[in-house]
């Protein structure tokens, strides 16, 4: 019978934004907490911790997921993408530039998760309608912006902004 020692820590090795990391996590440690507290990658934010707000969104093996709904040990060996991996050498991506131009953030708490989701969304749907953008954003809670700037920024990058 599998015996889990309370408090036992397990080695977890992951690739984050192309760089190899390893650290230790208890079986119950959430991937979001592992990224922030063990790997010191604080770009991924944590809001609700139960899969509702979208602030903690990262990619695992190319798929956008809630990192608060994954245990760190489940991600062992995975390729993870976080908001820190979007800009290269200090150069913002076109989507990040559009967020800046369209005032798509205020406090910025929701922004890392939305940028990760929207980046992947545009990769799979480079020519979205406004309704499709709003449907994608329905998985994210932003308490500041009213979403208008975010929608415009995403449509800007797609070349569909009014």
Residue 47 interacting with ligand FES (CB under 6 A): yes
Q: Which of 106, 120, 132, 134 binds ligand FES (CB under 6 A)?
A: 106
Bridge-based pairing of strands 57-60 and 63-66 is antiparallel
Q: How far is the CB of 36 from ligand FES (least distance, A)?
A: 11
Residue found under tokens 């408090």 = 7
Using the rule CB under 6 A, give the single segment among 11-19, 35-43, 48-56, 83-91 that binds ligand FES.
Answer: 48-56
Among positions 13, 48, 87, 92, the unique one binding ligand FES when judged by CB under 6 A: 48
- Under the binding rule (CB under 6 A), the answer on residue 68 touching ligand FES is yes
Do 141 and 52 touch, CB atoms closer than 8 A? yes
| Binding status of residue 46 toward ligand FES by CB under 6 A | yes
Q: Angle 40-45-48 (CA atoms, 0-180°, nearest 5)?
A: 130
Stretch that binds ligand FES, among 7-15, 19-27, 53-61, 115-123 (CB under 6 A): 53-61
Q: Are 130 and 160 in contact (CB under 8 A)?
A: yes
Of residues 15 and 106, the one with the C-beta less far from ligand FES: 106
- Number of CB atoms found within 10 A of residue 66's CB: 22
- Using alpha carbons only, give the angle 78, 124, 102 rounded to the nearest 5 degrees: 105
Kindly write down the DSSP assignment for every residue of 85-113, as one continuous string: GTSBTTBPPHHHHHHHHTT--SS-SSHHH
Q: Which stretch binds ligand FES (CB under 6 A): 1-9, 16-24, 78-86, 137-145?
A: 137-145
Residues that bind ligand FES (CB under 6 A): 46-49, 51-56, 66, 68, 105-110, 142-145
């Amino acid at each position: 019978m599998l015996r889990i020692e309370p408090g036992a820590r397990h080695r977890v090795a992951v690739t984050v934004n192309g760089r190899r990391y390893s650290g230790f996590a208890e079986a119950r440690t959430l991937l979001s907490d592992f990224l922030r507290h063990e790997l010191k990658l604080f770009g991924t934010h944590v809001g609700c911790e139960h899969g509702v707000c979208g602030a903690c969104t990262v990619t695992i093996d190319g798929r956008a997921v809630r990192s608060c709904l994954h245990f760190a040990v489940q991600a062992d060996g995975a390729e993870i993408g976080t908001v820190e991996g979007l800009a290269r050498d200090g150069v913002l991506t076109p989507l990040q530039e559009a967020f800046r131009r369209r005032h798509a953030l205020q406090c910025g708490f929701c922004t890392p998760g939305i940028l990760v989701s929207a980046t992947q969304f545009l990769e799979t749907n480079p020519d979205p309608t406004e309704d499709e953008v709003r449907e994608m954003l329905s998985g994210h809670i932003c308490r500041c912006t009213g979403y208008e700037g975010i929608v415009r920024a995403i449509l800007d990058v797609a070349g569909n902004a009014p």
